Structure 1
Amino acid sequence: MSDSVPSVLFDLDAYLRRIGWQGERRADAATLRGVHLAHMRALPFENLDVLRRQAPSLEQADLMAKLVHGRRGGYCYEHNTLFACALEALGFRVTLLTARVVVGADSIASRPRTHMALLVDIPGEPRPYLADVGFGAIGALLEPVPLVADAEFAGGGRRHRLVHVPHDGPLEMWVLQAHDQVKDDWAGQYAFTLEPFEKPDLDVINWHIGTNPRSPFTQRVYVQSVSAARHLLLHGRLLTETRADGTVTERVVTGEAEARRLLEEEFGIAVPEGMTLLTG
C-alpha cells in the first residue's frame, strides 16, 4: 500500500493519543489486536457528510483533521484508510481489499464491491490477518483474525470465522461470518477475494457510495459506537442498544434536538452546524 497511500502527512503520535493506545509500538500480533480494538472503541462510525451528499475526502490531511483532531467519525473508507496509515507507520505491510456486503442478501453476486477491508502481513507470521475497523454493523470485527478457513476466533466479546464459498473466478472467495447470540447461528457479513486494490479504486467507490441517491448512506443518518459494555446504533429515528450479553433495547428518537444531543453525548460526535439529522 505504501506507493498508493504515502504516510508523510500521517501523525502516529496524534492518532494513538486519539484512540487511547499506550501499549507497544511493534509490528506484532498483540499490537495489531490492541490498536484495532482501541480504534473501534474510540472512533464512531458515521455518515453525516454522506447524508449531505458529500463524498468524504480520503486524503490523509483531511482524515487527520476530521477523525483524529476533530470530534468526528467516518465510514469504512475513512476508517480503514486511516487505520492502514497507522499500521504502516507501525511497520506492518497492508493490502487494500474490497468486499461485497452480504448481510440480508439473497446471493453474494447480487451485491457490488462497496466495502473496504485490509489484509495485514505481520513480520515473521506464517499467514496474514483480516483487519477491518470500518464495518458499520453489529457483526463487525473488534479484533483482526488470521486468514484461516473454518476456525472460530473470539475477540472483544464477539465470535467470528472465515469460510470459503464456491466462486467462478480464479481467486478463492472468503466470507466473514459473525456468530448471532440470539439465534445461536452464523451469519455472513461480507465476501471478498485477496485481489489487491489501490487508492484510486477506493476513491471511485467512495464517490459512488457518497453521492448516489440510492446509496443506503445517503438516505438517513447511520451512526454507531462500540464499547466493552454495548453497541449503540442510531439508524434514522431508531436507537438500538445491544448489551454485551445480547440484550437488545430499541426506542424511537423524538426529534431533531434529541438526535443532536445523542450524537454529542452518547456518540461523541460534533454535529456540523446547520445540518438536519432526521429526514422524512
Structure 2
Amino acid sequence: MPETGQFTPDDLDAYFRRIGRPGARRADVETLRDVHLAHIRAIPFENIDPVRGTAPSLAAADLIAKLVRGRRGGYCYEHNTLFAGVLRALGFRVTGLGARVVVGAERFEDRPRTHMALLVEAPGDPQPYLADVGFGAPGALLEPVPLTPGAEFRGAGRRHRLVHAPHRGPLKLWVLEAYGPEKEPEDGPAPVPGAWQAQYAFTLEPFEHADYEVINWHVATNPRSPFSRRPYVQRVTSDRHLLLDGSRLTETRADGTVTERELTGEAETRRVLDEEFGIAVPEGTTLPA
C-alpha cells in the first residue's frame, strides 16, 4: 500500500508530540498498543472537508499539515493512512484492508467496502493484529486486537472479538464485533441486556493507496453519502466519548451515563468544535444543521 510521499524524521517528531507520547519508538506490540490508543485520544474523527464539498488529500505532507501540525482531525482514510505511514517508519509491516460497515445491517452484502482498516505485523512476532484508529463509532477499537477468531479482547474499557461469517467468496470473512453494555429500559421493568454487535466485515485481500483514493473521493463527494451532508465528529478521552452528529451532541461517560442536547445554531457548533473537540473550522466553512 504505497503512500503519496513519506514521513520525515521531523514529521515523526511532530506526530509523537501531537499524540503526547514521548516514549521509545520500537516495532513491538507494546508500542503498537500505546501509539494506537494515544492516537485515538489525541486526534479527533471529523468530516468537515466532505461537508465543505472537498475530498481530503491522502498525501503524506497534507496529512501531517492537517492532522498533526494543524488543529484538525479526519476520517478513516486520513487517520489510517497516517497511522500506517508512522508504523512503517517504526519498522512494522502494514497491509491496508477494505471493510464493509455493517452496524445495523441485516445482510453484510448490502453494504459496500468503504472503510479502511489495517493488518499490522511486528518483526519476529508471528501474530498479526487488526489495527484501526479511524472508525468513527462508539464500537471502535481503542487498542489493536490479535487476528484470532472467537476470543474476547478487552482494551481501554471496551470489549471486542473477531468471528468468521459465511459468505460467497474464496477468502475467509472476518467480522469485528463490539460488546454493547446493558441499557436501562425505556418502558419495561428490567434492563436490556448487553449483546455482541457486528461493526464491520472484511477479508485479508490487500488494498492499495490507489484503491483508497477512489473510495475516498466517492465517500467525500457523493451527495448520498452521510459524510457529505452533515458534520459527524467524534472525540475519545480516558473518561468520555463525545459525538456530534449534525446538531446533536452526545456525551457518554465511562460509567455509561449518556447525555444529549441539540446545539442551537452554527455559532454554537463552531464553539463546541473548538472547545470540546479541539478543531479549528476553516474560514468560509458553512456548517449545516
Would the TM-score normalized by the shorter structure come out above 0.5? yes
1:221 equivalent in structure 2: 231
Unaligned runs of 5+ residues in structure 2 are 183-192
| Deviation, structure 1 residue 4 | 4.6
Specify the code of the residue in structure 2 equivalent to 1:238: R
Give the Cα–Cα distance (whole angstroms) in 2 for the partners of residues 6 and 91 of structure 1: 17
Structure 1 CA distance, aligned partners of 2:7 and 2:73? 22
1:102-121 counterparts in 2 under 5 A?
102-121=102-121
- Secondary structure of the residue aligned to 1:46 is coil
Instruction: Give the % identical residues.
Output: 70
What's the offset of the Cα at 1:136? 0.2
For 2:16 and 2:36, the matched residues in 1 are separated by 11
CA contact (8 A) 1:51 1:219 kept: yes
Alignment of 1:45 with 2:36, yes or no, is no
- Structure-1 separation of matches of 2:273 and 2:206: 35
Residue 99 of structure 1 aligns with which residue? 99
SS in structure 1 of the partner of residue 36 of structure 2: helix
Offset, 1:9? 4.8
Question: Given residue 87 of structure 1, which amino acid in structure 2 is its aligned partner?
Answer: L
How far is the alpha carbon of 1:160 from its aligned partner? 0.4
**Partners of 1:147 and 1:120 in 2: how far apart?**
10
Which amino acid in structure 1 is aligned with residue 240 of structure 2? R
2:141 aligns with 141
Q: In structure 1, give the amino acid aligned to 2:135.
A: F
- Measured in 1, the distance between the counterparts of 2:281 and 2:3 equals 31
Matched position secondary structure for 1:251: strand
State the match for 1:278 in structure 2. 288
Change (3 A) 1:210 1:226: same
Q: Secondary structure at the match of 1:174?
A: strand
Do residues 168 (structure 1) and 198 (structure 2) align? no
Structure 1 residue 271: deviation in Å?
Answer: 0.7
In structure 2, the residue matched to 1:7 is 6
1:60-209 pair list within 5 angstroms:
60-182=60-182, 183-209=193-219
TM superposition outliers: structure 1 runs of 4+ over 6 Å? none
Distance 2:230 2:7 in 1: 35
**Hey, what does 1:253 align to over in structure 2?**
263
**Structure 1, residues 125-177: CA drift from partner, whole Å, max 9, x if none?**
22200000000000000000000000000111111000000011110000000
Specify the code of the residue in structure 1 equivalent to 2:173. Answer: M
Q: Which moved more, 1:3-12 or 1:57-66?
A: 3-12
CA distance in 2, matches of 1:228, 1:205: 32
> Residue 119 of structure 2 aligns to a residue in which SS?
strand
- Determine the structure 2 residue equivalent to 1:211: 221
Structure 1, unaligned stretches of length 5 or more? none
- 8 Å Cα contact 1:45/1:136 also seen in 2: yes
* Secondary structure of 1:45 counterpart: coil
Partners of 1:260 and 1:278 lie apart in 2 by 11
Give the counterpart letter for 1:14 in structure 2: A
2:28 counterpart of 1:18 = no
Aligned amino acid, residue 227 of structure 2: F
- Structure 1 counterpart SS, 2:115: strand
Separation (CA, whole Å) in 2 of partners of 1:9 and 1:109: 40
Tell me if structure 2 keeps the 8 A contact 1:5–1:85. Answer: no
The answer for the alignment partner of 2:241 in structure 1 is: 231
Would the alpha carbon gap of residues 156 and 174 (structure 1) be closer, same or farther in structure 2, given more than 3 Å must change?
A: same
